[in-house]
Amino acid sequence: MKVLITGSNGLLGQKLVALLQQQAGVELVATSRGTNKLAALYPHVRFIALDVTDVTQVWQVLAQEQPTHLIHTAAMTNVDECELNQESCWQQNVDAVENLVNACSNQRIHLTHVSTDFIFSGEEGPLAEDAEPGPVNFYGQSKLAAERLVQASAGPWAIARTVLVYGVAHEYGRTNLVLWVRDSLRAGKPIKVVADQWRTPTLAEDLAQGCWLLARQSAQGIYHISSDELLTPYAMALRVADYFSLDKALIEKVDASIFSQPARRPARTGFIIDKARRELGYQPHTFAQGIGLVGAQSEIIDKKNPPG
């Protein structure tokens, strides 16, 4: 099989490249906007610059490469930026998906599309795949619109919904909850962490594994890919402090209402992952295992790039 990944410079994209480049019988093509961040790590992996919002580029690259499977990870995922820049959000999260759906359908390429728990209202959770959507912010609206485009495709497709992804990536500017808590506490910096939101946090390696299982099995339909531990960010922060033996007194328990953010967040989501376990053989790490993996990976990167 030949797998093309969009967004290969992002957190999930990097984990997919790392996973798929070692799979026997897989020809891998990595694509992303801009230059290839992974060239030094995986010089043998074919890379093509691709802007998925450019319909001409999408059709040209897929016609040229003729993949059997495409895993679409590229998206605008900063929730507040999506609220403030709705035109750009729609272009990246909806128009781009329409381009890929049409091209994949035309060439009978199996499409795995990555979606989010933010398509839900947050009134209840954890949620199964058949739960009724009701987004409370523009990011969620854009991702729900993209899902509907995928579901209407005449070609083979799968949707991998996920929740609060965390992990470490190469030359990746954005942080994540685990590293933010660890680094803040190490610096003796007090932090405020919400205790009235609930999520099932997802290790990036687990999400990559879930996407690979969907593609490898040419699965059809919607699958929830996360952990099965329903936690508040405050509970997560306490576990991070415990793991790294840091001062929990620096962590202040707060309600989301104290933060003035452009976009509303759903209060309670989290996923039921029974279907992915049963049909795909998906087995996520525990949050404790995830903290350990992120910590070990970040230590390696810190040693390679000492301050100054």
pLDDT of residue 303: 72
CA 90 to chain centre: 18
Which of helix, strand or coil describes residue 268? strand
Distant-in-sequence, close-in-space partners of 233: CB < 8 Å, separation ≥ 6: 177, 193, 194, 195, 197, 199
Number of H helices, E strands in the chain: 11, 11
What angle (nearest 5°) sits at the alpha carbon of residue 78, between those of residues 203 and 184?
A: 60
CATH architecture classification, 2-170+202-228+272-285: 3-Layer(aba) Sandwich (3.40)
Per-residue pLDDT of the chain (308 residues; tens, 9 = 90+): 999 999 999 999 999 999 999 999 999 999 999 999 999 999 999 999 999 999 999 999 999 999 999 999 999 999 999 999 999 999 999 999 999 999 999 999 999 999 999 999 999 999 999 999 999 999 999 999 999 999 999 999 999 999 999 999 988 777 889 989 999 999 999 999 999 999 999 999 999 999 999 999 999 999 999 999 999 999 999 999 999 999 999 999 999 999 999 999 999 999 999 999 999 999 999 999 999 999 999 888 777 776 65
Inter-residue contact 225 to 161 (CB < 8 Å): yes
Picking from 290, 306, 198, 207, the residue whose alpha carbon sits closest to that of residue 243 is: 290
Which of helix, strand or coil describes residue 270? coil
Instruction: State how far the Cα of 192 lies from the Cα of 246, in Å rounded to an integer.
Output: 15
Q: Judging by DSSP bridges, how do beta strands 69-72 and 2-6 pair with one another? A: parallel
Element (DSSP H or E) covering residue 46: strand 46-49
Please write the tens of the pLDDT for every residue from 248-271.
999 999 999 999 999 999 999 999
Residue linked to tokens 């059997």: 68
Instruction: State how far the Cα of 263 lies from the Cα of 109, in Å rounded to an integer.
Output: 35
pLDDT of residue 308: 53
**N- to C-terminal Cα distance for the chain?**
44
Tell me the two tokens of residue 143: 């991702």
Bond before 126 cis per omega within 30 degrees? yes
- Compute how many other C-beta atoms are within 10 angstroms of the C-beta atom of residue 136: 18
Instruction: State how far the Cα of 143 lies from the Cα of 175, in Å rounded to an integer.
Output: 22
What angle (nearest 5°) sits at the alpha carbon of residue 136, between those of residues 135 and 139?
A: 70
- Compute how many other C-beta atoms are within 10 angstroms of the C-beta atom of residue 269: 28
Please write the tens of the pLDDT for every residue from 82-140.
999 999 999 999 999 999 999 999 999 999 999 999 999 999 999 999 999 999 999 99
- Compute how many other C-beta atoms are within 10 angstroms of the C-beta atom of residue 60: 14
pLDDT of residue 172: 76
User: If you write DSSP's letter for every residue of 277-300 in order, what string do you get?
Assistant: HHHH---PPPHHHHHHHHHHHHHH
What is the sign of the dihedral through the CA atoms of 173, 295, 298 and 11? negative
